[in-house]
Structure 1
Amino acid sequence: MEVVIQPGSAEMASLVADEIERLLAAKPDAVLGLATGSSPLAVYEELIRRHRAGRISFARARGFLLDEYVGLPAEHPEGYRNVIEREFAAHVDFADGAVQAPPGAVSSAELPDACAAYERAIAEAGGVDLQLLGIGSDGHIAFNEPGSSLASRTRIKTLTEQTRQDNARFFGGDIDSVPRHCVTQGLGTIMDARHLVLLATGSGKAEAIHQLVEGAVSAMWPATIMQHHPHATVLLDEAAGSRLQLGGYYRQVLADKPDWQGL
């Protein structure tokens, strides 16, 4: 696992956009794993800027979202398919239908088959080349809450009250408007991606980052499964990295890294 500590989100976003630009130059039909929430917004803004400058095209690329709320109307602005369209996809040149989201609007009887179909769609696309991730204050990635199976696949999950409180800001501060269930890619699904890129900012993520990078692998901190991934990159600002015991070493490694290596 590579830990990259940067001054702020703009510097982090530039590094991630560099990596995605390199990926699409080498593989124009690459498959991107797209995350919602606040963590990747600066990355999307930078990718949009580079697309408008003619530096990067998504015309042949595919995208798969990590998760989706269950029970929101299809037109709800906080449905993650709508969020990714508003924040990113509508501003670049993805082909129609190239970005897919987990099933959140099907009946409960249809949900298991729909989750299995989403897994098949990812596999049939060739698997995810680069997966963007954020992390919750309790260590969840996607909506794999503490206690999730480290081998889990796409499925329905019940959200913790902490997650609902954290996400209430997207629903006007009203926790009662936040759904209680979601469909999420599993930890096993996420681990199938060829490159995991996690971004975190702020002191509220510091303990989760400490556990992710330096703690024991445990279902109580689901993101720690990333320690077993052969190509995982964790990008942080100073506040998110403030609990790291080996922060000085991570900075030294980055300073001595060959320019050609990328993330």
Structure 2
Amino acid sequence: MEVVILPGTRQIGRLAADAIETLLRAKPDAVLGLATGSSPLPVYDELSRRHHEEGLDFSRAHAFALDEYVGLEPGHPESYREVIRREFTDRVNIDPANVHSPDGTAEDLPAACQAYEDAIRERGGVDLQLLGVGTDGHIGFNEPGSSLASRTRIKTLIEQTRKDNARFFRSIDDVPHHVVTQGLGTIMDARHVILIATGARKAQAVRDFVEGPVAAICAASVLQLHPHATVLIDEAAASSLRLADYYRHTFESKPGWQGL
């Protein structure tokens, strides 16, 4: 796991976008894993700018979303399919047919979960997965206690997650109790994972998953076992790390040819 501490969100967005641009130029039909929430927004903004100003091409790329609420009607503004369309895919030239999301409205949800796993596998797996992290260490909607080997499945949200997400709805009563999410095992299959965390509210979660034990109580800690996991954080999110100075030194001393 590589931990990179940067001054702010603009620098984080640029560095993550560099990795995605390098991937797309080497592999135009790359498979991207997309996350929602505030963490990836600087990345999406920078990728959109590069598309419009520098011609970065997404026309052959595919994308798979991490998760989706169960029960929101098609087109609901807070469904993650709509959020990803609004925040990213409508702003670049990716083919809408190549953008995939879990189906939270399926009559047979377990079958829909398996179909999503199959679709990822049929595309050759995810090349680069973007992630945020919850205040309790969840990634995707893999809440504390999730199996480290889990696959795409239905999960019940804990109340803290519903409270955290209530700001996107009229009230917490409108936040669904259930979701469909890629599992931790699914996420671990991605060839490169980039997790972004900013702000002091994420400092405890960052310390737990970067420097704590690998344990189901902190789902993101499974990334310690990933062969190519990159953690991009600002100074506030890094404030509780014991080895912050070492991480800074390591990144400053990194050979340019190594990339992210």
TM-score calculated relative to the size of structure 2: 0.99
2:226 counterpart of 1:224: no
Superposed CA offset, 1:76-108 (max 9, x none): 10000000000110111111311000110112x
SS state at 2:233 partner = strand
Structure 2 runs not aligned, ≥5 long: none
**Runs of 4+ with >3 A deviation:** none
Q: For the residues of structure 2 that align with 1:246 and 1:213, how far apart are their CA atoms?
A: 10
Alpha carbons 2:64, 2:100 under 8 Å: kept: yes
Instruction: Tell me how far apart the structure 1 counterparts of residues 30 and 69 of structure 2 sit (CA, whole Å).
Output: 26
Distance in 1 between residues matched to 2:100 and 2:127, nearest whole Å: 15
Q: Distance in 2 between matches of 1:65 and 1:125?
A: 14
> 1:135-183 CA distances to partner (integer Å, 9 max, x unpaired)?
00000000000000000000000000000000001113x1001000000
Cα separation, 2, equivalents of 1:39 and 1:194: 20
The aligned counterpart of 1:140 is 138
- Uncovered stretches (5+) of structure 1, i.e. residues with no partner: none
CA contact (8 A) 2:89 2:96 kept: no
Question: Does 1:191 pair with 2:188?
Answer: yes
Letter in 2 for 1:32: L
Counterpart amino acid of residue 141 in structure 1: I
Give 2:59's aligned amino acid: A
- Provide Cα deviations, 1:203-243, integer angstroms capped at 9, x if missing partner: 11001100111000000000000000000000000000001
The separation in 1 between residues aligned to 2:96 and 2:144, in whole angstroms, is 36
Q: CA RMSD in A?
A: 0.6
State the percentage of identical aligned residues: 65
Q: Shift in Å at residue 55 of structure 1?
A: 3.5
Match of 1:130 among 128, 137, 143: 128
Instruction: Report the equivalent of 1:90.
Output: 90
2:240 aligned to 214, 218, 243, which one?
Answer: 243
With structure 1 as the length reference, what TM-score do the two structures score? 0.98
Residue type of the alignment partner of 1:243: S
CA distance in 1, matches of 2:83, 2:109: 22
**Other structure's SS at 2:155 match:** strand
What SS does structure 2 have at the residue aligned with 1:97?
helix
| Corresponding residue pairs, total | 260
Aligned to 1:211: 208
